[in-house]
Amino acid sequence: MLDTGDPAAYLHSDFAGDGSFNIAQLSDETVDGAGRKAEATVAGDARRAAVLKAETAILNTDAGGCGGRRGLRQGSTRT
């Protein structure tokens, strides 16, 4: 677990294709790109907006366990 209050760091570790805690095994270039943009944006309103876009990209993949399989790495399963 990361010892930071930075939501962009959590989003990367938990949902990026190369994330160290990517339990959902999500592999989605839109999510990765949105996360990279959020991490690269300076603190303030622009960063908050970028984090929200990254969160939206994640939710659009059903990675939260809503029953969808879109974005899972090939060969991965989730029940």
Quick: pLDDT tens for 19-73.
Answer: 999 988 999 999 999 999 999 999 999 999 999 999 999 999 987 555 444 555 5
- In the block, residue with structure tokens 């939501």: 7
- What pTM does this model have? 0.74
**Residues of the domain holding 40:** 7-59
Grouping H, G, I as helix, E, B as strand and the rest as coil, residue 18 is coil
Residue 67 lies in a domain: no
In total, how many domains does the chain have?
Answer: 1
Please say if the pLDDT value at position 3 is more than 80: no
Residue 25 lies in a domain: yes
Residue 39 lies in a domain: yes
Residue 78 lies in a domain: no
Residue 77 lies in a domain: no
